[in-house]
Chains A and B, each alone.
Chain A
Amino acid sequence: MPRATQKSYYWIGFRTGLPFLLVVMPFGMLFGVVATEAGFTSVQTMAFSSVVFAGAAQFTALQLMADDAPFLIVVATALAVNLRMAMYSASLAVWLGRAPLWKRALIAYVNVDQSYAVSMNRYEDEPDLSLTQRIGFFFGAVTPVCPMWVVATGLGIWFGDTIPDWMALDFAVPICFLAIIAPMMRTLAHMVSAVASIVLALVFSGLPYNLGLLVAAAVAMIVGAQVEMWMSRRAEA
């Protein structure tokens, strides 16, 4: 009963993804509020959330546009924020690479931090899952989160300024990312890379157009790769 099995893994994925609504809802609403305040029309705000579909990059672009940054800086920085998804794509391809092209095309569209993280954990915990079960799990994990991202954006536009300050919607973003980053601290190389990213981003925060983050991320990637090579040389020696 391959069909039934895929169905059950779909629902396991669904339940795993469900708690992320706790962060996706405030995050999406905040985007609706901020984009409207920045002068985006409702249609532009909704299109932004559904076409780009990447919260952190959307906020980054919005911030830079409000700061009057040049076009190329807006695009380069927002895409740099999304570059981590190339890595997500590479590691998902190991598990889902044999899916038909149209399914991979759809998986790519909804490949967000949360769905990636829970799916990879599941694939590594249960390496014997069939391709169908893996795909079922992935789409299950995505189902509660992704449509609600767009709905939440709409709610943010709708409620606008009436959302009280004490709800601290702004902090949904850092909390979500910190919760995602913490389990990634698997090796010394990951930790050193993260520390380098933090220190350099703070040191270079004065640079115009968020260039500081670009510099920090590029150097932190090199640092991570170098520490990894150093560690494997040490292990061999």
Chain B
Amino acid sequence: MNPSMDAGYIWTIIIVLGVGTYLIRFSFLGLIGGKDLPDWVLRHLRYTAVAVLPGLVAPLVLWPAATGGEVDPARLSAALVTFGVGLLTRNVVAAITLGGATLFGMIWLTGAY
């Protein structure tokens, strides 16, 4: 960790992110309904989750820090199984369970650790 990160800096980040995150979560629930928002804003908001999360995950899947950024067969196949099962069953828990089983199965098979 760099030396410029003193306690005051860390606490400022925690508080600013805490307040900012809460305001985002409260936004429409607080304003009740968000019916007054123009259509084009709602149309963009509909895609925030699918616009942010896949981009966040993609590098973690392809270049995991745990393997020094090398493509890892165990993590890659676990990701594909998780997504495939989720797509076919629409069942989050089934996707997580089978994805996790694939990850540990592949780690064991490839003797990665």
Binding site for B on A (CB under 8 A): 19-20, 22-23, 38-41, 44, 47-48, 51-54, 56-58, 60-61, 65-66, 68, 71, 74-75, 78-90, 92-94, 96-98, 101, 104-105, 107-109, 111, 114, 117-118, 164-166, 168, 170-171, 173-185, 189-190, 193-198, 200-202, 205, 212-213, 216-218, 220-225, 228-229
Contacts and interface: CB of A to CB of B under 8 A. Distances in A.
Interface string B85-110: 11100111101110110011001000
Contacts of A84: 48-49, 52-53
Given A19-B93, A52-B18, A221-B44, A104 B50 contact: no
Contacts of B79: 174-175, 178
B49 A87 contact: yes
A176 B93 CA distance: 9
A135 B37 CA distance: 24
Interface string B28-45: 111111100100101111
A67 B67 CA distance: 19
A48 B29 CA distance: 24
Given A181-B83, A197-B54, A89 B112 contact: no
27 contacts: A19-B93, A22-B100, A57-B21, A75-B13, A86-B25, A86-B28, A86-B48, A105-B26, A108-B25, A114-B92, A166-B107, A168-B103, A174-B61, A175-B99, A175-B103, A176-B96, A178-B61, A178-B82, A182-B83, A184-B49, A195-B54, A197-B55, A201-B55, A217-B48, A220-B55, A222-B44, A228-B43
Q: Which secondary structure dominates chain A's binding surface?
A: helix
A89 B27 contact: yes
Contacts, number: 291
Interface string B64-87: 111000000011001100111111
A138 to B, nearest CB: 11
Given A164-B113, A170-B66, A216-B55, 17 more contacts: A47-B14, A51-B17, A51-B18, A53-B18, A61-B13, A71-B13, A97-B32, A101-B30, A104-B26, A104-B30, A171-B75, A174-B57, A177-B57, A179-B86, A184-B49, A221-B51, A225-B47
A108 B30 contact: yes
A86 B15 contact: no
A71 B15 CA distance: 13
A114 B26 CA distance: 17
Contact of B60 (A85, A174, A180): A174
